[in-house]
Homo-oligomer: A and B are copies of this chain.
Amino acid sequence: MGDAALPKEHLLIAFMHDLTPEQLEEIRAKFPELEVSSVTLKRGEDIPSELARKATYIVTFANLPKPEDAENVQFIHFLSAGLNHVIQHPIFRETAIPLTSSSGVHGPPIAEWTVMNWLVHSRRYATMYEKQKKHEWRDSSSGYFQGVYDQVGKRVGILGYGSIGRQIGRVSKALGMTVYAYTASPRPTPSSRHDNGFIVPGTGDKEGTVPVSWHHGTDKASVREFLALGLDHLVISLPLTPQTTHLLGAEEFALLAASQGSKGPKPYLTNISRGKVLDQDALIAALNSGELSGAALDVTDPEPLPAEHPLWDVPNVQISPHVSSLGVEYFSRSLDIAKENVGRIKRGEDLLNAYKRGKGY
């Protein structure tokens, strides 16, 4: 009856929550050539030896095998974009097992969250919403739409032009806006502007052709040059590091507003990074004074934001509780990276989203 089947390679999902039968079915459909199993573990708990030793590939958020159990493991794929939360584990320090991140999966949801907030602000969605609740049509004297404006011709500066910033840039350009990119290191050549990580198909700016100009630097002087471009929107999409902590404060907001000039609404700030990249008291002052026309904040300092905090009620601020990246697509997209990398392993190619030990990202 022909050859006996080769033993299947084994994909182990080690997660903090039980997978639903539907999720397992979807995963098995995505990896028909692999045996798939899952285990539910506490956050940070090591994967039990008998499971780890059977695994060819591991997908996890924060559960790792002991190095001695991982001899057959071809790669460990993380469900998070960053790996800082597990960087002290012996797998990082004592093995050369390839590690891959989910960087890139956040582009579409966070870009949609960003553009939603811009439009909600510029088109006065809250008025529309409250009037609908009261069953009120407009009357011609109500000034319902006074001051409504659109995004065409607006200049958006994106501090941190990674996979998230690129999808924001892509949609911004379609809206008729002009995009300015800011990165930590210089990107002088076309190839240096490429995005070589995972990109959700149909999105992003792989070639880096969306921005009209690129700017860079890691010091405040470079950031201030960027803020002086006359921006209508500033999007903060930077990692939080000692250098980026409180990078933006009263002087930077004043510079942003002064540079934008008097045409149209004052600059609008979007923070999808971390609350501590800006001086939140200075932001509150800039919003109260009208120096900034509004702000969309998915992150605050601290989180959760206490109920009595004044930020909740500052005029023209839209706050969400650190949810901009969430969505039903997250898990499936992250597994697409693992699927791509199973193929690359077979073909002997470099892995997508490979973590470079020692470089810290």
Contact = CB atoms under 8 A, between A and B. Distances in A.
A304 to B, nearest CB: 3
Interface in A295-316: 303-305, 307-309, 312-313
B129 A123 contact: no
Given A112-B123, A150-B112, A137 B176 contact: no
18 contacts: A109-B150, A112-B119, A113-B119, A113-B123, A120-B125, A128-B320, A132-B312, A132-B320, A135-B309, A135-B313, A136-B307, A137-B303, A137-B321, A138-B321, A148-B323, A149-B328, A152-B201, A152-B203
Contacts of A254: none
Contacts of A244: none
Interface string A135-177: 1111000001101111111000000000000000011011111
Interface in A154-209: 170-171, 173-177, 200-203
Contacts of A225: none
A318 interface: yes
Given A116-B123, A119-B119, A321 B144 contact: yes
A200 B152 contact: yes
A250 interface: no
Given A109-B123, A112-B175, 14 more contacts: A108-B150, A115-B115, A116-B119, A116-B123, A119-B119, A120-B120, A126-B129, A135-B307, A135-B308, A135-B309, A145-B326, A150-B329, A152-B202, A171-B174
A60 interface: no
A131 B303 CA distance: 15
A327 interface: yes
A264 to B, nearest CB: 8
A108 B175 contact: yes
Q: How many copies does the complex hold?
A: 2
A319 interface: yes
Contacts of A280: none
Interface in A44-69: none
A177 B152 CA distance: 21
A122 interface: yes
A323 B145 CA distance: 7
Contacts of A128: 318-320, 323
Nearest to A111: B175
A148 B109 CA distance: 9
B175 A326 contact: no
Contacts of A321: 131, 137-138, 144
